[in-house]
């Protein structure tokens, strides 16, 4: 039986994609936004395409801040960008 892949929405382009195609950012219980590279951290999550276009869009529109209702620090965006430039999907 094929495994069911969850679908999540990118905060930047609003497209719905399979979860493994998206990067997850989490608001931890301590109230900090972090890039969740393994997709396993507890807390409220937001998703974004693994694409520099969507990342730039999210930075400009502050979509991640709005989705998580918390300030996103530059190191989170840097971690995302580094991951996206690796071409990891």
Q: Which of 49, 72, 76, 84 binds Zn ion (CB under 5 A)?
A: 49
Q: Are 14 and 67 in contact (CB under 8 A)?
A: no
Neighbours of 66 (CB within 10 A): 13
Q: Tokens 């971690």 correspond to what residue?
A: 79
Residue nearer to Zn ion on the CB measure, 30 or 86: 86
- Contact flag: residue 80 with Zn ion (CB under 5 A): no
The rounded distance, in Å, linking the Cα atoms of 23 and 49 is 6
Q: Does 12 bind Zn ion (CB under 5 A)?
A: yes
Q: Indicate whether 63 belongs to the interface with Zn ion (CB under 5 A).
A: no
The distance of closest approach from Cβ of residue 3 to Zn ion in the complex, given in angstroms and rounded to an integer, is 23
> Which residues of this protein are in contact with Zn ion, per CB under 5 A?
10, 12-13, 49, 54
């Amino acid at each position: 039986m094929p495994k069911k892949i969850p679908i999540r929405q990118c905060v930047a382009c609003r497209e719905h994609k399979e979860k493994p195609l998206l990067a997850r950012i989490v608001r931890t219980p301590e109230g900090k936004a972090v890039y969740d590279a393994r997709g396993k951290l507890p807390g409220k999550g937001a998703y974004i395409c693994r694409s520099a276009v969507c990342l730039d869009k999210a930075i400009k529109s502050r979509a991640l801040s709005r989705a998580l209702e918390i300030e996103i620090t530059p190191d989170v965006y840097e971690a995302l960008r580094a991951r996206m430039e690796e071409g990891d999907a």
